Amino acid sequence: MEKRTLGKSGIAVSVIGLGCNNFGAMKVDASKRVVDRAIDLGITLFDTADVYGNRGGSEEQLGEILGARRKDIVLATKFAMPMDDSGKKQGASAAYIREACDASLKRLKTDYIDLYQQHRPDPNTPIEETLGALDDLVKQGKVRAIGCSNMPADQLAAAHAASRKNHLAAYVTAQDQYSLLVRGIETALVPEVVKEGMGVLPYFPLASGLLSGKYEKGKEIPAGTRFARMGRFSEAYMTEENWKIVEALTAFAKARGHTILDLAFAWLLARPWLPSVIAGATRPEQIEQNAKAASWKLTAAEVAEVDRITARVPAAA
């Protein structure tokens, strides 16, 4: 599988990554089948977070499953979301970052994290303190590179200014929601990412499933799917405008012998500042489908046409 670099880190990853947010909620055997198939197909970027799997479950399962195959992957995890009900174990203070990193290393049964990401901004902690703690982890060898997630462009710019001024490690990736149906980051965040030589790691690349091809307008939502479980959540995506776009994209892909899922991945990978598309999976077949999608290389004309189809989507918040 094709590989790209995570920003300026020098760390190469597969263009299709595995989102591990389902691990911990799944049985270990089921998670292992997904992990093994992903590695067999050349997928090297595994993205999790301390909070996934009911606070720690995803990391624990990965630690149990990987074993000797840890060396074959690039392991990314996150900190900052609440890890207890008291509100004490969260945020991006120096003390908490040290605690959170050691806890993740223990659950993952590894000596280092390839990409350690701040899951969300912390308005109560100066960015210099956060970056100082992360820089220490890099110097200690516990972390190879750092990234952020859900950070507005102005805050990201301030973080880079602080890194330069204080000679600290800088964020090399930004993980944000981005798909054919949610393109809000293109306005301000992407220009900042490009300016700093970072990479965007999109989450919800299939718009939580609306771009997967499993849903059809006017038909009952399949049982067991994300939209079936989350009613109001599905309503936010299943708008009249989005359905029109999905129908147009489906026809575009079908005319070229592909599915809308293929198109969702191929369009993202046409962005040179996007190193890898992270997608979750609960079955090996989904991994195979995602990996296959990466083989479609859109032409410049095709990208322009898809951009025209999706340009009607309002910018996301």
List the catalytic residues: 52
User: Coil, helix or strand for 183?
Assistant: coil
Instruction: Say which amino acid occupies 278.
Output: I
Q: Are 146 and 117 in contact (CB under 8 A)?
A: yes
Going by their DSSP bridges, the two strands 3-5 and 12-14 should be labelled as: antiparallel
Instruction: List, in sequence order, every residue forming a beta bridge with 201; answer none if it has no partner.
Output: 175
Q: Which of 48, 52, 43, 54 shows the shortest CA–CA distance to 19?
A: 48
Q: Which of 310, 40, 45 shows the shortest CA–CA distance to 186?
A: 310
The torsion defined by the Cα of 311, 152, 54 and 178, in degrees rounded to 10, comes to 20
**Cα–Cα distance for residue pair 56/303, rounded to 1 Å:** 39
Please give the backbone phi and psi of residue 206, each rounded to the nearest 5 degrees, phi first: -105, 20
Handedness of CA 288, 289, 290, 295 (dihedral sign): positive
